Structure 1
């Protein structure tokens, strides 16, 4: 690989040109001239490499995103007054109600002021994913063009603000306004995964990606744990559900402040990365330098790529199972197993803790096996994706047939999520294998399309469980089983672990039999582009 001369650039917000000959441009020149002096002092304050600092902040980003995503899942159980509907229906398989007091009356929910049906609740919970799907592809484009730092940061900041607004909005406009607000929250979080993929593709060497992927994307489980547990604590003993949204909205704003200060889109734009780490990353990471002229995203090759379609099917299956657990497990705990809200918050958090821990184990195993050539990257992705699909599929069925045996049911749910931890070292990082140069756009396409599971699942479960009985939930779990297993079979047959030809057509050329014309390339006057870019950097 061509040796990259070290230079330091200041990362600017989107749409700000560094080449403008203005007072700002002059100040920029002065700022760049000062960097070498203070950079060395600041870099000594960091005891760990900057790619690990980025990994920690990325973990907190995903954690923050998921706390704001899932806090409504538990809060809605205390927002809706379903006492009347519980008295009108009869379920012979109903479990004993832990929330009942000695005289047989049901404990009241002092802040349950809404009368929403199960299907309405399902529609509200699915609203987030409508917005989430809309901004995936635009988010990936913005991250590739302007860098992942601001694309990710501004998106999550907007979601934090919308989260703070939730109590006021729902009390003013009811279910309709809450549904619209959830769409806006989803739009803010849509760029999260594409932007993170772009950042990781430019910061993490290939042999570290399984572990870094497990750390960063394992933040989803930290978010689920923290979100579920704290929601239960804040609402225990009749606490106001509004406090949940105030707490996690403030948490999101605090994260944004630290992200803005400590993280940068690429190693070459980081003002206080060490010389050793910068050299190492430029030698080991294909896309560490963002300054080369980029070709347009080769969409016509991507949509004809069989490994991409295999990854897409696997993502749909995983999201179906995952969203079933994330969105509806609190309702199952409360409505079927009859746990009180504090117990539900704690028990809902435990499966995600198991998934988070197992993600590190699976990531470590996969990296070791690949590094020692015990199996290929493709084989590793298939093995771990299969564990993460078939294991949970079996466990949720066993949980439904455990009936009112709470210990067994919770145990199966914990095992289900623990096995799902293989997802992070399986198909989750597969986009980095297939297309390191277009990881953001590919992730946007995969995540955006697979989000259809998040749209369908809550609403479908609401339709399948109108009375929230054990038998009705069992049917919903069988549907989940079929989707998980079926999509995994497709992935096992057609998955791949190698960089695809269309990711770098200059290096790999066109495959034999390609009959769809040449891919659109960057401006042919390469030297002119490089010269103009060098002049912009000099300013």
Structure 2
């Protein structure tokens, strides 16, 4: 049984003089690590779902029955000529039907299934504009709900929104291969829209949970460990989808079915072991609870706080983080969604190698995310650099240096060198995870969810300009010069947004983090007194439970 109805105030840690010494970290694998692992697995599943269509779209639209007929017409025509007949199958619709029947007659059973009108394995003839609408319908739903989801996470805790997202995404993914058979591309857009609407809760909910669970001395490691699931999920889906889509037995629908099953398994895991805050966790020890409370900046009580929107909107530090979030999101979404197309059309990479090459940069990003998290905590622990300068430096690496390598990626001709440039660019972009991304928790752990919701909404709203840019700049997918222009524009956006972050960033907890406290002086109460009463109540509740049993 978790601790219930405990109302105490957090300690204002405005400077080192007022702060209480943080208790030593408990040894071993604690409850906070279990929560981090659960969130890592969940975000891995969600990002697999988010990125799956980037590679799957190539397989879904690589051929269709009409193209198969056109391709086999010449073969059938040659066969007729060799057999003493001379029939042109392209003259009439009847002859096209004859060609189709002859082609299907020579197909294997699996190929016949693929060519069947009612088969989920069939492919579709969608033009570039339609494909872009399908790909970005997810981000339309995601953008429209990310701000409300931040408020919901703040009010109800982070666990419930994550459960809803996992359940909806799992069911929708399982049904997606059959949807276009009956509704066409519009139905696929609706499916992706639903997934985006519910996945909008992911980041605000995780930020809310981190604000409760992550001690400040472990914030870099825990947050980057959890959010590295976004790269890990992308790596997995690029690898697996390339293999499955290129396999004649499984085909592209199996990608959706696999992701759907994984999402529902994650739902069960979060429902069973997930906890929105330490007080809701049945297995947390008193020692670990004291350690988490030791930072004293996050309110672990069950009381509901009003969000200080006036103070938030007036904060230049918040807006610096938001602007950087916008630049980062535009660059990340461009690379995530358009890289497979660039690899296929400009570098002429086949679908199997495309999945491998597209996943390698995210493997680098996964490793570098963990490295940046460890490095930032180490630098802070040894007082080598202030938290503010850590955020500035990491963000600059993730935005400016990464943007430069993205531009170089667009100019090289060699496939191998291009992949190396992309790996470096995406890998270094992970610096933002200990830059603006974690800075939202630095500013106000009690309102990390709404801050992430607001920043994520604006970032993804501006990211909707990316498909517009792609459509207007890239009329021909094979024109490398057009891609170069696009990459340069994105790099400039990242550089400018990082400059604003460097100017306005702050790392200390803001006064409005404690908005709504009735007794600000209570924040100065000794940690020991508060923790003792808390543990006494926990022991009392456990004793009552034993007596009842």
Q: TM-score, normalised by structure 1?
A: 0.79
Find the counterpart in structure 2 of residue 521 from structure 1.
none
Bigger shift: 65-74 or 453-462?
A: 453-462
Find the counterpart in structure 1 of residue 317 from structure 2.
307
Residue 342 (str. 1) matches residue 337 (str. 2): no
What CA RMSD, in Å, does the superposition of the two structures yield over aligned residues?
Answer: 2.7
Which consecutive residues of structure 1, in runs of 5 or more, have no partner in the other structure?
A: 1-5, 11-45, 86-107, 511-533
In 1: Cα distance, 2:63 partner to 2:477 partner: 11
Find the counterpart in structure 2 of residue 451 from structure 1.
460
In 2: Cα distance, 1:362 partner to 1:171 partner: 45
Seen in structure 2, the aligned counterparts of structure 1 residues 454 and 124 have a Cα distance that, compared at 3 Å, is farther
Bigger shift: 63-72 or 116-125?
A: 116-125
Find the counterpart in structure 2 of residue 219 from structure 1.
229
Q: Is the 8 A contact 1:268 1:288 kept in 2?
A: no
Secondary structure at the residue paired with 2:395?
A: helix
Secondary structure at the residue paired with 1:424?
A: helix
Which of 48, 53, 58 is the matching residue for 2:39?
Answer: 58
Deviations 1:290-339 (A, max 9, x none): 32x34311111111111111111100000011111111111111111111
Secondary structure at the residue paired with 1:374?
A: coil
Find the counterpart in structure 1 of residue 212 from structure 2.
202
In 2: Cα distance, 1:234 partner to 1:149 partner: 32
Q: TM-score, normalised by structure 2?
A: 0.78
Which of 3, 11, 19 is the matching residue for 1:8?
Answer: 3
In 2: Cα distance, 1:398 partner to 1:504 partner: 46
Find the counterpart in structure 2 of residue 417 from structure 1.
426
Find the counterpart in structure 2 of residue 75 from structure 1.
56
In 2: Cα distance, 1:114 partner to 1:454 partner: 27
Q: Is the 8 A contact 2:147 2:456 kept in 1?
A: no
In 1: Cα distance, 2:518 partner to 2:363 partner: 42
Secondary structure at the residue paired with 2:184?
A: helix
Which of 308, 328, 332 is the matching residue for 1:322?
Answer: 332
Find the counterpart in structure 2 of residue 268 from structure 1.
279
Secondary structure at the residue paired with 2:464?
A: helix
Seen in structure 2, the aligned counterparts of structure 1 residues 468 and 509 have a Cα distance that, compared at 3 Å, is farther
Q: Is the 8 A contact 2:299 2:446 kept in 1?
A: no
Which consecutive residues of structure 2, in runs of 5 or more, have no partner in the other structure?
A: 6-26, 68-110, 116-120, 521-537
Secondary structure at the residue paired with 1:324?
A: helix
Residue 286 (str. 1) matches residue 294 (str. 2): no
Shift of 1:505: 4.4
Residue 245 (str. 1) matches residue 256 (str. 2): yes
Find the counterpart in structure 1 of residue 161 from structure 2.
151
Secondary structure at the residue paired with 2:434?
A: coil
Q: Is the 8 A contact 1:201 1:287 kept in 2?
A: yes
Task: After TM superposition, list the pairs within 5 Å mapping 1:18-33 onto structure 2.
Answer: none
In 2: Cα distance, 1:509 partner to 1:149 partner: 29
Which of 433, 437, 440 is the matching residue for 2:442?
Answer: 433
Residue 160 (str. 1) matches residue 170 (str. 2): yes
In 2: Cα distance, 1:312 partner to 1:234 partner: 38
| Number of residue equivalences | 451
Bigger CA radius of gyration = 2
Shift of 1:279: 2.3
Q: Is the 8 A contact 1:68 1:248 kept in 2?
A: yes
Q: Is the 8 A contact 1:80 1:112 kept in 2?
A: no
In 2: Cα distance, 1:288 partner to 1:270 partner: 15
In 2: Cα distance, 1:304 partner to 1:228 partner: 41
In 2: Cα distance, 1:260 partner to 1:417 partner: 33
Shift of 1:171: 2.0
Which of 267, 271, 288 is the matching residue for 1:256?
Answer: 267
Seen in structure 2, the aligned counterparts of structure 1 residues 160 and 171 have a Cα distance that, compared at 3 Å, is same
Deviations 1:358-382 (A, max 9, x none): 1111111111112222221111111
Which consecutive aligned stretches of 4+ in structure 1 deviate over 6 angstroms post-superposition? Answer: 82-85, 506-510
Which of 464, 468, 480 is the matching residue for 2:477?
Answer: 468
Seen in structure 2, the aligned counterparts of structure 1 residues 365 and 295 have a Cα distance that, compared at 3 Å, is same
